[in-house]
Amino acid sequence: MAYTALQQMKNKNEKAFGKAIGPIQPERHYDSFDHGLKAMALRFLHVRCEGLCFRAEEGNDYLGTSLMPGQIPYNMQMDINRLCLERELEKFIDSGSAEDAYTIYYCYLEMFFGHYGKSKKMVELLSEFESNGSSLLMKHRDHYSHSVYVFALGLAIYESNTAYRAAFKKYYGFETKDTDTEAEHAAACCFLEYWGLTSLFHDIGYPFELPFEQVLSYYEVTGRKRGKGNLFLAYHDVDAITKLGSEAKKQFVKIYGRPFESTEELFAFSITEKLGAAYDFTEEYMLGKIHDKPISPDEFNYFMDHAYFSATRLYREIENSIGIEKINEKHVDALTAILLHNSLFKFAVSFFNGKNYKRPLRMDEHPLAFLLMLCDELQCWDRTAYGRNSRTELHPLAADFDFKNNAIHAIYYYDKDEQEKIDAFKIRYRKWEDGGETGDAPRLKAYSDMAEKEQRFASDIEKIVDLSDMPLAVVPNTREVDRKSKHTYLSTSNFLHLYDFAVALNARYSYQGKEKDVETEVLEKEFEALSLEYQLSNINQAKNFSKYLDALRCFYTDRPVDYEMIAAFTKKQMEVFAPMEHERWIREHISMGWTSGDLYEKVPLSEEMMSRYGDEKTARRALREQLRMHKLALNGAPTQVEIFAHYAALPPEEREKDYEPFNSMLKLIKKFDGLRIYRLD
């Protein structure tokens, strides 16, 4: 039984109203015999994370939020939150789109940081820099969707690999036997929280690295290599972001028994404690390497390490969001895993490509760092190329994984239309072999790293992390590009306008005729009062708006364009997209385990319900959320034709109730960063 709080509410409802009453157990959206990436990641969330974020002492309360606060038990809300994450991860793995990556960040921040709004700027910054500034670089590819793929890979490896699970559980003090189900669930929930922190935010420091690379790219365009004689950027006064406050110092004395003046000192201590003896370095040595990262890039072959800034920036976000008093050793482990993942471990600890090479990292030495370095290397497919050279290089567009038997078997697919490049490489490579393999081997990044006999891609990974308990096999292949999976439409803006769009959608019923008078802060506060499920419903409606506008030959953008702006939708226009929105709503409710029915409107209400909610209308709304039943929902797997027919059969007042509110929404979105809707003709 994966969703226990939902089952408890079902048992209570059946006792009160009879059998066959909800909530129902969410359907598993994977094949039990499938060992691929999606199946393993979803199985981890669906089965292994039972009891995620539960409060034992509040299991039967009504402190949870659904459409409104106090409608459902707290643990029931936590079960629904986990289901939200499961469904959103499924969407992302299917599409790989930035919009679907966004909702994974949204779920994680809502579930583990308190609410998305506090960390909105951190999430936006990487997206803004990559989409607007990366085209000036010679080499750069997406790190936003990449990080969510890394997150999914880690979940799949934890689910499938017994050695890694045992190493993680032992490292963090959990019972290592898989037969202890309570400890198993607790360990999985712990892993989800701290692996999510590690993986999703490991690249948020790129906005500090990109300006550095932009300056050097100016020289590379002229054919000069980076190095002495080139102008380069360095950061000074870094203590502005690394210095620890008095409360933080006290907290770390409690945790580690010694004071630290800065995050650099904290990180150096933690890394040395874990790896110093095994790799023969001192805390002083490690502190020097960390300290010089931002201020002396010339000491690191003229490279700026985004990992330094990712760890430092994320520490501030944790401190400001959850509070310094809640920071623990596992937070620091996530931060040091991030700090190590890019170059620090490779070039300052293991020296993986030199004469002084020591050995790869074992999973039991730093489980989070091990997994991040592994998954960061494995995730090289389906990454938008921004840099000048990156756009012309051959990179894998898709990948299939098989995680059975505690191993990783990966097939990376390249564009079939690039077969001519691949054939030419193979000819050059055979000539190089026949010529005695003198000189450098021919390269076709990244295909050659997987296809050549040296297996550079896999062998480099094995130099970084010890895969003796996780055998890796990599095979390159080709396939046709599926360009429809990302559902790209003409509407363009920073996709993070989704949040603003969703806030306006949520408010469209409440402020008709009063749009000018309401402040955005009020709208956001009302939006934040919703449960994660209802927030995501608005966000997913916002995602689909580009599809609806495309059907109307319209689009939205935050840039001034020479097209006619739409101030209001006509009834005819809304008759086009209203059935499409109804289909989205129906499928969303089926996916989230809602059933069709109107029992909540008809059954006699108990004295307990009336006493708890005060009036009949409020009580019946709460009962609807507790039953997870809606009179407009459908059961089963209806076709689009059936859903459109269901919409057409609705009473006129139901079909038309969104018309004017949608026009109110058009006025409300103008309050957010100049987003406007235009007509093509």
Rounded to whole angstroms, the Cα distance separating 31 from 95 reads 19
The mean of the pLDDT values for the chain is: 88
Lowest pLDDT segment from 139-148, 541-550, 551-560: 139-148
Question: Which residues constitute the domain of residue 285?
Answer: 102-386
* Start-end of H helices in 344-492: 367-378, 419-434, 447-451, 456-464
- pLDDT value of position 385: 57
Mean pLDDT of all residues in 517-534: 89
The band of 61, judged by pLDDT with boundaries at 50, 70 and 90, is confident
Mean pLDDT of all residues in 169-174: 96
43 domain residue, yes or no: no
Quick one: tokens of 458? 């896999």
Q: 343 and 414 in one domain?
A: no
Which of these three, 479, 503, 522, is where a domain ends? Answer: 479
Top pLDDT among 215 and 609 is at 609
The band of 448, judged by pLDDT with boundaries at 50, 70 and 90, is confident
Quick one: tokens of 176? 């290592």
462-473 pLDDT, tens digit per residue, is: 999 999 999 999
Rounded to whole angstroms, the Cα distance separating 273 from 283 reads 8
Residues with Cβ within 8 Å of 111's Cβ and at least 6 positions away in sequence, in order, are 52, 53, 81, 82, 85, 532
CB 157 within 8 A of CB 379: no
Q: 461 and 512 in one domain?
A: no
pLDDT of 6 over the 90 cut: yes
- pLDDT value of position 667: 77
Number of domains in the chain: 3
Q: 267 and 308 in one domain?
A: yes
Q: 540 and 645 in one domain?
A: yes
Quick one: tokens of 422? 């691949």
- pLDDT value of position 57: 67
Rounded CA Rg of the chain: 27
Residues with Cβ within 8 Å of 474's Cβ and at least 6 positions away in sequence, in order, are 410, 412, 450, 455, 457, 458
340-378 pLDDT, tens digit per residue, is: 999 999 999 999 887 889 999 999 999 999 999 999 999
Mean pLDDT of all residues in 61-84: 95
Mean pLDDT of all residues in 638-649: 95
Residues with Cβ within 8 Å of 604's Cβ and at least 6 positions away in sequence, in order, are none
Phi then psi for 52, rounded to 5 degrees? -60, 125
pLDDT of 235 over the 90 cut: yes
359 domain residue, yes or no: yes
608 domain residue, yes or no: no
Rounded to whole angstroms, the Cα distance separating 381 from 399 reads 6
Which of these three, 479, 508, 528, is where a domain ends? Answer: 479
The band of 398, judged by pLDDT with boundaries at 50, 70 and 90, is very high
- Estimate to the nearest angstrom the gap between the alpha carbon of 75 and the chain centroid: 23
pLDDT of 658 over the 70 cut: no
Which of these three, 479, 509, 538, is where a domain ends? Answer: 479
pTM for the model = 0.93
Amino acid making up residue 342: N
Quick one: tokens of 245? 């406050």
Q: 531 and 472 in one domain?
A: no
- pLDDT value of position 333: 98
- pLDDT value of position 138: 44
304-325 pLDDT, tens digit per residue, is: 999 999 999 999 999 988 999 9
